[in-house]
């Protein structure tokens, strides 16, 4: 096939990838928005019992954990069904579910209703987070997977930045309700676009034995298919979570879950309690929210830069390094340093917490093959939420006990050190076989040399 014949399929592949990335980014922006928006309103809810009732720091931490418990449930459900029913259905359901429950949260008038809706919102968030990585891994070119994955999951800290900015503009009192109502926007703006533009993964279709349909989608999207489909016995017995329990994946699955657990403990603890910690340290509301903005801004920029390093040298070493950076920055945050230095340290902490979790999702989504990929990412997102659930609870317990706020940073630094150690123990895994030459051709020049390096 000559170069002229390659170009139309090449254009289709680029167009398909851009649409998928755009949809996934916007979905995860609102996931990140939900992650951070609760932390921005915690000070208001603690100080104004007329909103949803009288809250103690411990109760506020528990409310933050309800959403994370929902994320764990949603991620595990998505993993259980995603490798069986496909990526597209799970993504569309997650967008609708998340938007509706987020909007209903704005109407809550008591702690119980708010807590239930936070849990249900988390279910939708978990489904999206667990599926996005699997989807991108099957549409992105192999030598740019970490970068595209980072672009998509950077939507989470971008959502955090958005929540911080809107919180700065909102008023006290009922202003927090408008912040939650804004979270329902994807139902109106994103879902219709996703229904039209989001295709099913041709690799997943092929892995499930739907060969003809896989070829049709591959032709329409320009995405190449693997050299061969899995055999019938693999299709029947080693799909989804069943594949994770095999000797090939079992140890790595446990260690990857613990790695995610460490990163999410740090991420949710800081996003929930950083504004309150900084207020107790003498900074006003605006300054405390600026710290939150800096944390998520650092995660966006640092995560994208680190992903390019990961594409070159492998994600495992980069993740261990960013965990260490997080530990160092968190210890230094407990010291009385100038504001400019504190902001720089918070940005580094953002790279080592949420930025690291972005890299972990990329690592995991490429570690497993197609028939186990959604389950692997779901396990990482779901089991990791145990750390996410613990983060707000630990922070609430420390602040509620009257312990000096700086000590909380030391506890979080310990979790970062644990994450670095566990990451280093994950066994190396052979890369997924590259697709054969296809009509789509490469998205980026130099594919051959990079793939040879991989």
Task: Give 349-405 pLDDT, tens digit per residue.
Answer: 999 888 898 889 888 888 887 777 878 888 888 888 788 778 878 887 887 777 777
Distances (CA, A) of 82 to 67, 237, 375: 21, 16, 7
> Given pLDDT bands bounded at 50, 70 and 90, which one contains residue 96?
very high
Strongest mean pLDDT among 240-249, 283-292, 420-429 = 420-429
Alpha-carbon gap, residue 144 to 223, rounded angstroms: 14
The C-alpha angle with vertex 383 and arms to 377 and 386, in degrees rounded to 5, equals 140
> Given pLDDT bands bounded at 50, 70 and 90, which one contains residue 193?
very high
25 within some domain: yes
Cβ(201)–Cβ(87) below 8 Å: yes
H helix or E strand, kind and range, residue 354: helix 354-367
Cβ(64)–Cβ(41) below 8 Å: no
Structure confidence by residue, pLDDT tens digits, 44-66: 888 888 878 788 887 887 887 78
> Given pLDDT bands bounded at 50, 70 and 90, which one contains residue 435?
very low
What's the domain count of the chain? 1
Structure confidence by residue, pLDDT tens digits, 8-29: 557 777 888 889 999 999 999 9
Taking CB atoms within 8 Å and a gap of at least 24, the contacts of 53-59 are: 53/110, 53/111, 55/111, 56/400, 57/276, 57/396, 57/399, 57/400, 58/396, 58/397, 58/400, 59/111, 59/396
434 within some domain: no
Q: What is the CATH number of the domain that holds 192?
A: 1.20.1250.20
Cβ(84)–Cβ(242) below 8 Å: no
Q: Which two tokens stand for residue 368?
A: 């497993």
259 within some domain: yes
Q: What count of Cα atoms within 13 Å lies in the side-chain half-sphere of residue 269?
A: 29
pLDDT at residue number 308 = 86
Structure confidence by residue, pLDDT tens digits, 26-45: 999 988 898 778 888 888 88
453 within some domain: no
452 within some domain: no
440 within some domain: no
Residue 93 domain boundaries? 3-228+237-428
SS3 content of the chain, % helix, strand, coil (to 5): 80, 0, 20
Share the mean pLDDT of the chain: 81
pTM score, whole prediction: 0.72
444 within some domain: no
Alpha-carbon gap, residue 238 to 216, rounded angstroms: 25
10 within some domain: yes
Strongest mean pLDDT among 58-62, 88-92, 199-203, 312-316 = 88-92
Cβ(350)–Cβ(295) below 8 Å: yes
């Amino acid at each position: 096939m000559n170069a002229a014949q390659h170009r139309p399929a090449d254009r289709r592949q680029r167009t398909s990838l851009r649409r998928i990335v755009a949809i996934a980014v916007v979905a995860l922006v609102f996931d990140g928005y939900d992650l951070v928006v609760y932390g921005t309103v915690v000070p208001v809810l603690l100080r104004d019992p007329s909103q949803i009732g009288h809250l103690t720091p411990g109760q506020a931490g528990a409310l933050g954990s309800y959403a994370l418990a929902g994320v764990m449930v949603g991620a595990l459900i998505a993993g259980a069904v995603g490798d069986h029913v496909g990526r597209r259905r799970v993504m569309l359901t997650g967008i609708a579910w998340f938007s509706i429950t987020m909007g209903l949260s704005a109407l809550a008038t008591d702690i119980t209703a708010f807590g239930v809706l936070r849990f249900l919102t988390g279910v939708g968030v978990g489904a999206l987070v667990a599926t996005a990585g699997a989807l991108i891994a099957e549409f992105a070119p192999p030598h740019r997977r970490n970068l595209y994955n980072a672009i998509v999951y950077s939507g989470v800290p971008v959502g955090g930045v958005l929540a911080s900015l809107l919180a700065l503009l909102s008023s006290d009192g009922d202003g927090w309700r408008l912040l939650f109502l804004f979270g329902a926007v994807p139902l109106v703006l994103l879902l219709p676009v996703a229904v039209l533009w989001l295709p099913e993964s041709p690799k997943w279709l092929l892995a499930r034995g739907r060969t003809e349909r896989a070829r049709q989608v591959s032709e329409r999207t320009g995405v190449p298919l693997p050299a061969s489909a899995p055999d019938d016995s693999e299709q029947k017995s080693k799909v989804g979570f069943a594949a994770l329990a095999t000797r090939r994946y079992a140890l790595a699955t446990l260690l990857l879950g613990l790695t995610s657990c460490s990163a999410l403990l740090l991420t949710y603890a800081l996003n929930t309690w950083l504004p309150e910690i900084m207020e107790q340290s003498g900074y006003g509301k605006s300054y405390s929210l600026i710290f939150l903005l800096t944390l998520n801004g650092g995660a966006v920029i640092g995560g994208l830069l680190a992903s390019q390093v990961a594409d070159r040298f492998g994600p495992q070493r980069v993740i261990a390094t960013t965990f260490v950076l997080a530990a160092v920055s968190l210890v230094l945050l407990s010291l009385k340093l100038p504001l400019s230095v504190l902001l720089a340290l918070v940005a580094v902490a953002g790279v080592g917490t949420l930025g690291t979790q972005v890299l972990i999702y990329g690592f995991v989504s490429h570690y497993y093959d197609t028939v186990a990929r959604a389950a692997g990412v779901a396990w990482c997102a779901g089991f990791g939420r145990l750390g996410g659930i613990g983060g707000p609870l630990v922070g609430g317990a420390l602040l509620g006990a009257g312990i000096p706020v700086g000590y909380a940073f030391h506890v979080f630094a310990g979790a970062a050190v644990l994450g670095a150690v566990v990451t280093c123990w994950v066994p190396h895994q052979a890369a997924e076989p590259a697709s054969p030459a296809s009509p789509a051709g490469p998205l980026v020049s130099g594919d051959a040399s990079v793939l040879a390096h991989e």
